[in-house]
């Protein structure tokens, strides 16, 4: 074989695919980009996801109980009259459950703890950017945006319950601490309580809308895991080894919170 044939053979082997199509030169960035593309595509497939137990039963019970009681509170507040008795009772339940969820955020299982999902600004910004280039970065528990939204919801619910303690309806119903302050101050708390109710409704609506958005846009079901406790996550994420939730601790904390709120409502 002469030099021209060797050169031609060499060029065809490295500069083309054998069918005349130029072959892309090798570069580390090409491999990285290709692997990233493959990984992103695999995240969208159910076959690459594995079931992981994420939400313990106290988180799930508190979540759905708070949701139901918020619906009752809004409905009874709008109806007024005799329904205000149930408005007080639902507020009692919301306050006890929110206090419990806050404590469980420090004493609960791994994914229930604030330390596992409250992240810094860099993580929040990075996740927000990933939403613009789907699929977004996957997290086993709450993502950085969702984590801060949980904190915001709990803070709004706590503030709403607190203002309700001092509010009145100008007829026959008043919060358990309303008599300890002046009528003018109680009226101010009442105004804040009314405004806060619609703030909570707005935040809850966004929360529900986001769950359906993830289901439609990213094919990620965030509702089912809050029912079953099990979430499908990408295999590559793995799972943090966690101890099983201690039911006795959860029941004790819920009992303490319920008793504290009961004393507040009955002994004042």
Tell me the pLDDT tens digit for each residue of 209-233: 999 999 999 999 999 999 999 998 8
pLDDT at 190 over 80: yes
92-135, pLDDT tens digit by residue? 999 999 999 999 999 999 999 999 999 999 999 999 999 998 88
Whole-angstrom Cα distance, residue 239 to residue 233? 9
Q: Which of 22-26, 79-83, 97-101, 129-133 has the lowest average pLDDT?
A: 22-26
Residue found under tokens 């690459």? 48
Contacts of 78 (CB under 8 A, 6+ apart): none
So what's the pLDDT on residue 90? 97
Range 175-194 average pLDDT = 96
Whole-angstrom Cα distance, residue 118 to residue 114? 6
**Band (15; pLDDT cuts 50, 70, 90):** very low
**Band (61; pLDDT cuts 50, 70, 90):** very high
Q: Which domains does the chain have, with CATH numbers?
A: 53-111+150-266 (1.20.950)
Quote the pTM value.
0.80
165-180, pLDDT tens digit by residue? 999 998 889 999 999 9
Tokens found for residue 37: 């593309």
């Amino acid at each position: 074989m002469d030099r021209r044939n060797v050169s031609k053979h060499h060029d065809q082997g490295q500069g083309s695919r054998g069918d005349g199509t130029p072959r892309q030169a090798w570069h580390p960035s090409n491999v990285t980009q290709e692997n990233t593309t493959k990984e992103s595509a695999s995240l969208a497939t159910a076959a690459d996801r594995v079931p992981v137990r994420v939400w313990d039963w106290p988180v799930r019970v508190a979540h759905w109980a708070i949701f139901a009681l918020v619906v009752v509170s809004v409905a009874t507040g709008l109806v007024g009259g005799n329904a205000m008795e149930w408005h007080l009772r639902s507020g009692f339940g919301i306050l006890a459950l929110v206090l419990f969820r806050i404590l469980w955020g420090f004493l609960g299982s791994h994914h229930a703890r604030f330390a596992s999902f409250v992240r810094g600004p860099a993580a929040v910004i990075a996740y927000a950017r990933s939403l613009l280039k789907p699929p977004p970065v996957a997290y086993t528990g709450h993502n950085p945006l969702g984590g801060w939204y949980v904190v915001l919801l709990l803070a709004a619910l706590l503030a709403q319950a607190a203002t309700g303690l001092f509010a009145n309806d100008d007829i026959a119903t008043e919060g358990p601490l309303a008599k300890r302050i002046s009528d003018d101050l109680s009226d101010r708390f009442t105004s804040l309580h009314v405004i806060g109710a619609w703030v909570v409704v707005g935040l809850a609506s966004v929360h529900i809308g986001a769950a359906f958005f993830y289901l439609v846009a990213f094919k990620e079901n965030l509702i089912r895991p809050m029912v079953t406790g099990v979430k499908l996550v990408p295999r590559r994420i793995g799972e943090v080894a966690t101890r099983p939730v201690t039911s006795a601790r959860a029941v004790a904390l819920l009992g303490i919170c319920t008793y504290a709120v009961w004393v507040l409502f009955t002994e004042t």
